[in-house]
Each structure stands twice: as C-alpha cells, then as structure tokens.
C-alpha cells in the first residue's frame, strides 16, 4: 500500500492542501500521513537563548494541529496518521520519506510569500528528492497544483 | 637560693634596666620634637589641602590625578587621586616658602593648575587645613571620543538589524575599545579610552546576580506548566466569548510578566494561545498580539518584571516596593486603554462564532495545558512568595534584591533537587555576558564624555522644567525604544537621567527614572523589532500558518504604544 505524506502547519491556509491530500488518498486508496516540523533554531536567533523547553511546547502544538487535520480527514472517511518532528525541514522530509516509505508528497506554498520556505526553494527541493528517491511531488498554492513531478 | 632563683633575679634586673633606658629615650625624642626648631619657617604635623572636582554639569569627577609641586619646580611633593564623590586631599609635611602649585590631570579632561600664593599658604600654616574652591574640569573632545561613540552606535545598529547576536556585538565593541586603548594608547595618549580595571568598575554586579537568581527560579516555575494551565482555564471560563478570553489572557500575561521576564512569558503563552485560537475558530493572532503588547507593559510594575527595571532599580536605588507603589496604578490605566483599543481593532474577529471543537481536541488541549508536577509547583510557589517577601521587607535592612533572589534559587535547588545540568543551562550566560559587556561599553562612552554631552544638550532644552523633562524622556525614549534594543538604550540613558535628576528642581523624587522605565518598556510595542518578546512570539507563530508580519504588528502596536505612553505620562504627572 502506498503512503501519501502531507506536511502541514495547521490553520485555514493549510486546509486546501490537506483537502487535496485527503482526496488523493481516497482516490488511490493510499495511507495518509500528516507531518508537523518545528525548528527552534528559528526562534533562538531572535533573542537570548531559550530557557523554556520550547521544543516540547512546539511538539504539543504540533500534536494539536495534526489532530485537527486527522479529524478533517476522518470526516471524509479517510483515516490518517500523524508524526511530529524537529529540525530543518528539508532534512526531516528526506528522513521521513525513507523511514515511512513515502510514495507521494503534497506540499503547500503560500501565494502571499509568507512561510519559512519559499516556493522556489520548495520546487528545487521537490525536483531533487523526486529524482533521488523516486517520489512523486505536488506543490499547491491556494488549493491549485502549481508543480508536479511524475515518477 | 637555688639555680633557678639566681637566674630569675638576673633577668629581672636586666628588664628594669631596659625599661629605664626606653623611658629615657622616649622622653628625649619628645623633647626634641617639642623644643628643637628646624631651619624652615613652619614645621609640625601634616598640612592638608583639600577640594572637590566637578565637571560642567556639576557631576563629581573621580579618578583624577592631583599633584602638589613647588611653583617652578618639577619635583612632586605629594600626589593623590580624587574619590568617587569628587573630593580629594593632599597632605604636606611642611609648607614651602614659595607658592604651591596643584596640578590636576584626568584623561578626557583638560588639565588644570591651581596656584596657592603666600596668603593661602599662611592660612594653611595657621589652621593646618586649606580648602580650595571646587574646581570645574572641562571635557576634552579628542579622537577617543569619536572612536568610542562610533563603536557604541555600531553595536546598536548590529543588534537592531540582527547582523550579530547582541552578546557578540557587545563583546566585539568591548574588545575593540580595549584594543584601541592599549595598543593605540601606547603610541598616542589620546587613544586611551580607559583601562581594563576602569572598565570592570562599570559592571553592576547586583544586576548580574539578581538575573542569575531569577533565571533559576523562573526555570523551575515554568517547568510546572502553571501558565499554560491558567490559559486553558481562561478558555473554559470565557465559554466561547473571544472578547472576554482576550482580556483574561492579557491579564494572565501581565501577571506572568510582572513576575517573570517578557521573553519567557511569551514562550509559555504563545503555543497554548495558538491552540486555543484555532479551537475557537478565530485568527489566533487576535489573542497573541494583545498578549505580547500586555507583556511589554505589565512587566514594569515590579523590579524584576523587565531587565530594564532591574537596571534602573540597581542604578538609582529604586526598590521593589517603590516600583509597585509608583507604577502599578499607572500601568493598570494603560492596560485598560490598551484593552479597549484591542477590542476595537479585532472586533470583527471576536464576533465570529466557531463551531466548537470535538471532545478529542478538547482533551488534547487540556492535556497540553496540564500542570506537570504539582509537588514541585507548590514548593516553587512557596519559595517564590518568600523571595518576594524578601524583596518587600528586605529594604528595611538594606538587603539588596539580588541576595533574596540567590537565596531563593538556592533553596529551590536544594528542596526540589532538579537536574543540576539543566539548571546550569537555565542560567542564560549569554545574556549575562551581554550585560557585562554592555556595562563596560556604556562606561566607555561615559569616560569620553558622550553621556555628558547628551545630558548637557538635554539640560539646556529642559532647563528647570520638570514636566518637559518627563515628557522628553517618556516620549523620546519611548520612540527610540521602538527601533533600538531597550536594554542598551536604558543602560546608556541612566547616567543622563542621573545628571538631569540632580539638576532639575523637583526631580529628586526619581520621577525621571520612572519615566525611563515606562518609555523603554512601552516603546517596545511599536514595531515587531522593538522587543525580544515580540520577536520570539513571531518566531513561534512563523512555524504555523499564522506568521506575524511587520505590517500586521504595526497596525496594532504603534497606536497602542503612543496611547499607553500618553497614559503613562499623565500618570507620572499626577503621581509626582
């Protein structure tokens, strides 16, 4: 059985991407895995070193966001799993693809330019990983597919 | 008589002889001292010439070198250094026949020479003490002034634009200052800004130890999850009414900020607030931005609520009680105005009614907001209360807050026995190094006269108008604080405020220091870059679909800043 991975940061802007991934999983009869990646390095650069265990706080936040995504998937009759990770997004993505034997990845890019990773970077990352790991990639903006690699 | 008895008799005789001889010697010396006249016109015990050194702003000048010479001669009769209050004393064994010259030298000041004529020397001889009129030293603007100023401005810019971490920037500035002093100063004395010993003298160790103590206490308390639990209770109590929820969350944030620092407060509040916002179906930023605005203001009610208050309290001798009594009501009024503006700005968001969340999500939210360790929590609360009792009552016995904080931290470490490695990590050494380096860098600009220059300029504008002085500091510092990091800004303003406090009538109530406290803290709400609490909040929300843009923050932050500054200013006029 194939597995579709959908990294998400929760919130209404992620809903179109999640809907696409849910629809795709339903169509293909694939497993669905939602992922949240936190990177505390992005926080610590902004001020003094952190004394609060912020990594754990972000993990709990991630759990909550992914639970919301899973509930949405269940409403469409698609069961979904979740995983919360820490680190640099591109590295974590590679690790999870290998670990969970992912066949398809659905990424979202903000059309307003917001977000940690730009569309160009996501495109570059997708092309690279697609060739290297034989994985299908979709990049969506405002719910529409703007980039797709086939395998 | 036995052998021992003969020996005792022999020794006692010798001792008597020795005693008689000593007595005669003492009497001889005494006679010589009293009756024999030397060749000089005057003779006898020490003669003291004393005086005081000040600068053009009537501030004492310490560390100046004073030497007494016979006029026209190069040989120094005696020398001394001026004390921290600017006073000095030169002791002379005898009084010269000719006039006496007192030379005054101090780096970054123009040297002076005072001559005591025969009349003055006669007075000295008669009374043994001669007091010179206060000597005003003029500042010397040389190349070291420009170098120290450029270094300080560079540090502010490096921190403001995040080219370097604040600690790195401060250390770099300090290193360059000392290298210029030692290497440059060896070739050209004008390049000597200050020595390493002088630099170290500018570190306020009370601030450092207060921070160490509070960091350990905070690390233990934050681990209990109490603030996240309080946020969840606010969600339950508000029963879906977002407008009520935001006011309760702001109140919790103010309470937390008054006890902890703003940075830690937001680290604790933002993740749970994001979840609550999404559970309610509203934009979580409508909860989070008001929280960060409240945290920047709420912290100024107590000595330990903001790093700037810790700096101000230690420098001006303003205690925990003083901040509470003099600031709390003003802050409450400012927060009421802030709350009103926030409700207005986010009115459309707060009108939304979400569909509620599933039992599963509710359970998850409750789990994320649980108190981790009730036993540790109670112990932490007990010690925390005792520390604050120490802050309040300690002032009666001149117990500095740093002692209460260190003692409280030690009790917690022993009582709770946490992982000591984690506790060592909890002490933010980078921030402590930043503070130490910053104190020394600000000391450099004090040495070269930049502080005096700015104070003099402000003094000319303000004159004796205290209201104008308060206005300038509240709004001037408040505006600068929107752009510049408030810790270096406050550290550099402190000596200026001291000068103004000493020169403006009525300022002895220390109102200008409270004005600095309000301006530095409230100004942090202006822009996203205005405070570390703002930046860390943005750093967390950036990891979700709710990043805070510069523009979004500005739309709320800037109006709130000036509204609260106005309230703060009016409060200070009423209170003082």
**Averaged over B343-361, what is the pLDDT?**
84
How far is C-alpha A10 from the geometric centre of its chain's CA atoms?
Answer: 10
When pLDDT is cut at 50, 70 and 90, the band that residue B293 belongs to is very high
- CA B179, B185, B190, B196 dihedral sign is positive
Q: Which residue has the higher pLDDT, B510 or B532?
A: B510
Interface of B with A (CB under 8 A): 162, 165-166, 215, 218-219, 222-223, 263-264, 267-268, 271-272, 274-275, 278, 358, 360-361, 364-365, 368, 425-426, 428, 430-431, 434, 532, 535-536, 538-540, 542-547, 549
The Cα of A79 is separated from the nearest Cα of chain B by a number of Å equal to 15
Q: Which two tokens stand for residue A24?
A: 């795709």
With a pLDDT cut of 90, the percent of chain B lying above it is 47
Rounded to two decimals, the pTM is 0.80
Whole-number pLDDT of residue B254:
93
CA distance A117 to B574: 51
The Cα of B365 is separated from the nearest Cα of chain A by a number of Å equal to 7
Cβ <8 Å between B545 and A11? yes
Chain segment A70-102, per-residue pLDDT in tens: 999 999 999 999 999 999 999 999 999 999 999
CA distance A73 to A83: 15
- B361 contacts in chain A (CB < 8 Å): 64, 67-68, 71
Whole-number pLDDT of residue B35:
45
**Averaged over B294-317, what is the pLDDT?**
91
- Backbone phi, psi, residue B60, to 5°: -65, 145
Whole-number pLDDT of residue A6:
96
Chain segment B187-225, per-residue pLDDT in tens: 988 899 999 999 999 998 988 998 888 888 887 887 788
**Averaged over B385-403, what is the pLDDT?**
89
CA distance B556 to B543: 22
CA distance B295 to B478: 16
Whole-number pLDDT of residue A50:
52
Q: Is the pLDDT of residue B7 over 70?
A: no
Cβ <8 Å between A63 and B368? yes
Chain segment B99-136, per-residue pLDDT in tens: 899 999 998 999 999 999 888 888 888 888 999 999 99
Whole-number pLDDT of residue B305:
87
Q: Which residue has the higher pLDDT, B11 or B69?
A: B69
The Cα of A13 is separated from the nearest Cα of chain B by a number of Å equal to 6
Whole-number pLDDT of residue A46:
47
Beta strands in B41-116 (DSSP E): 47-54, 65-70, 76-81, 87-92, 100-105, 112-116
Name which of B25-39, B393-407, B456-470 the model is least confident about: B25-39
Cβ <8 Å between B271 and A61? yes
**Averaged over A61-69, what is the pLDDT?**
94
CA distance B335 to B351: 22
Q: Is the pLDDT of residue B332 over 90?
A: yes
Chain segment B12-22, per-residue pLDDT in tens: 555 555 555 55
**Averaged over B230-242, what is the pLDDT?**
89
Cβ <8 Å between B271 and A58? yes
CA distance B422 to B407: 19
Q: What is the 3-state secondary structure (H, E, C) of chain A?
A: CCEEEEECCCCHHHHHHHHHHHHHHHHHCCEEEEEEEECCHHHHCCCCCCCCCHHHHHHHHHHHHHHHHHHHHHHCCCCEEEEEEECCHHHHHHHHHHHHCCCEEEEECCCCCCCCCCHHHHHHHHHHHHHHHCCEEEEEECCEEEEEECC
Would the ipTM clear 0.90, i.e. be above it?
no
Q: Which residue has the higher pLDDT, B53 or A143?
A: B53
Whole-number pLDDT of residue B6:
41
Chain segment B550-573, per-residue pLDDT in tens: 889 999 999 999 999 999 999 999
- CA B256, B258, B263, B266 dihedral sign is positive
Cβ <8 Å between B278 and A68? yes
When pLDDT is cut at 50, 70 and 90, the band that residue B1 belongs to is very low
Whole-number pLDDT of residue A114:
54
**Averaged over B535-543, what is the pLDDT?**
87
Q: Is the pLDDT of residue B483 over 90?
A: no
**Averaged over B307-317, what is the pLDDT?**
91
- B532 contacts in chain A (CB < 8 Å): 46-48
Whole-number pLDDT of residue B377:
87
Whole-number pLDDT of residue A43:
67
Whole-number pLDDT of residue A101:
94
Q: Which of B350, B347, B366 has its CA nearest to residue B358?
A: B366
Chain segment B424-473, per-residue pLDDT in tens: 766 778 888 988 999 999 999 999 999 888 888 888 899 889 999 999 99
Whole-number pLDDT of residue A121:
86
**Averaged over A54-63, what is the pLDDT?**
89
- B549 contacts in chain A (CB < 8 Å): 114
Whole-number pLDDT of residue B90:
93
Chain segment B144-184, per-residue pLDDT in tens: 999 999 999 999 888 877 788 888 999 999 999 999 999 99
Q: Is the pLDDT of residue B523 over 70?
A: yes
Mean pLDDT of chain B: 86
Kindly tell me the burial class for residue B31, based on how many C-beta atoms sit within 10 Å of its own C-beta (0-12, 13-18, 19 or more): exposed
């Amino acid at each position: 059985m194939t597995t579709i991975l959908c990294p998400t940061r929760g919130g209404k802007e992620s809903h179109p991407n999640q809907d696409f991934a849910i629809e795709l999983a339903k169509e293909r009869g694939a497993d669905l895995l939602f992922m949240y990646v936190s990177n505390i390095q992005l926080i610590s650069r902004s001020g003094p070193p952190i004394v609060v265990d912020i990594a754990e706080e972000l993990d709990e936040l991630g759990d909550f966001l992914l639970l919301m995504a899973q509930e949405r998937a269940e409403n469409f009759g698609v069961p979904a799993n979740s995983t919360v990770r820490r680190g640099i997004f591109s590295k974590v993505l590679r690790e999870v693809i290998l670990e969970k034997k992912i066949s398809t990845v659905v990424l979202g890019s903000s059309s307003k330019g917001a977000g940690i990773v730009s569309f160009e970077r996501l495109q570059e990352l997708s092309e690279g990983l697609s060739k290297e790991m034989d994985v299908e990639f979709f990049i969506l903006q405002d719910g529409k597919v703007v980039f797709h690699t086939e395998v | 008589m036995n052998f021992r008895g003969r020996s005792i008799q022999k020794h006692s005789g010798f001792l008597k002889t020795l005693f008689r001889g000593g007595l005669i010697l003492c009497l001889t010396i005494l006679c010589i001292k009293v009756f024999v006249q030397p060749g000089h016109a005057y003779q006898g015990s020490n003669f003291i010439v004393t005086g005081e050194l000040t600068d053009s702003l009537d501030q004492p000048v310490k560390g100046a070198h004073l030497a007494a010479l016979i006029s026209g001669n190069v040989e120094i009769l005696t020398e001394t250094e001026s004390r921290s209050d600017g006073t000095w004393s030169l002791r002379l064994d005898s009084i010269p026949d000719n006039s006496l010259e007192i030379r005054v030298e101090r780096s970054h000041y123009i040297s002076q020479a005072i001559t005591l004529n025969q009349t003055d020397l006669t007075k000295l001889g008669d009374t043994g003490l001669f007091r010179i009129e206060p000597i005003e030293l003029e500042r010397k603007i040389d190349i070291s002034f420009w170098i120290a100023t450029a270094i300080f401005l560079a540090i502010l810019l490096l921190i403001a634009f995040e080219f370097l971490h604040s600690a790195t920037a401060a250390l770099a500035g300090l290193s360059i200052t000392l290298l210029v002093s030692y290497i440059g100063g060896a070739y050209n004395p004008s390049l000597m800004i200050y020595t390493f010993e002088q630099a170290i003298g500018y570190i306020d160790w009370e601030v450092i130890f207060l921070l160490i103590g509070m960091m350990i206490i905070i690390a233990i308390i934050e681990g209990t999850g109490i603030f996240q639990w309080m946020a969840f209770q606010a969600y339950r109590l508000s029963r879906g009414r977002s407008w009520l929820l935001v006011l309760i969350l702001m109140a919790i944030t103010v309470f937390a900020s008054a006890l902890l620092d703003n940075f830690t407060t937001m680290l604790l509040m933002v993740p749970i607030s994001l979840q609550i916002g999404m559970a309610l179906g509203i934009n979580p930023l409508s909860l989070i931005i008001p929280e960060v605005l409240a945290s920047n203001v709420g912290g100024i009610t107590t000595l330990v609520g903001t790093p700037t208050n810790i700096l101000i309290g230690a420098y001006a001798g303003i205690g925990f009680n003083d901040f509470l009594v003099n600031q709390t009501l003003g802050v409450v009024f400012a927060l009421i105005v802030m709350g009103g503006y926030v409700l207005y700005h986010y009115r459309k968001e707060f009108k939304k009614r979400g569909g509620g969340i599933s039992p599963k999500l509710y359970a998850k939210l409750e789990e994320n907001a649980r108190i981790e360790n009730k036993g540790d929590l109670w112990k932490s609360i007990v010690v925390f209360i005792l520390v604050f009792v120490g802050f309040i009552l300690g002032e009666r016995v001149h117990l500095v807050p740093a002692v209460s904080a260190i003692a409280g931290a030690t009790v917690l470490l022993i009582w709770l026995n946490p992982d000591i490695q984690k506790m060592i990590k909890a002490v933010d050494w980078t921030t402590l190094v930043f503070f130490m380096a910053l104190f020394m860098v600000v000391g450099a600009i004090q040495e070269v006269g930049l502080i005096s220059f700015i104070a003099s300029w402000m003094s000319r504008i303000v004159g004796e108008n205290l209201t104008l002085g308060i206005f300038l500091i509240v709004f001037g510092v408040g505006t600068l604080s929107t752009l510049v990091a408030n810790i270096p800004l406050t550290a550099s303003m402190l000596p200026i405020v001291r000068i103004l406090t000493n020169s403006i009538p009525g300022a002895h109530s220390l109102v200008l220091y409270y004005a600095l406290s309000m301006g530095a803290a409230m100004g942090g709400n202006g822009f996203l870059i205005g405070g570390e609490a703002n930046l860390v909040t943005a750093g967390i929300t950036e990891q979700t679909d709710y990043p805070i843009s510069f523009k979004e923050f500005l739309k709320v932050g800037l109006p709130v800043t000036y509204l609260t500054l106005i309230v703060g200013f009016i409060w200070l006029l009423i209170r003082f």
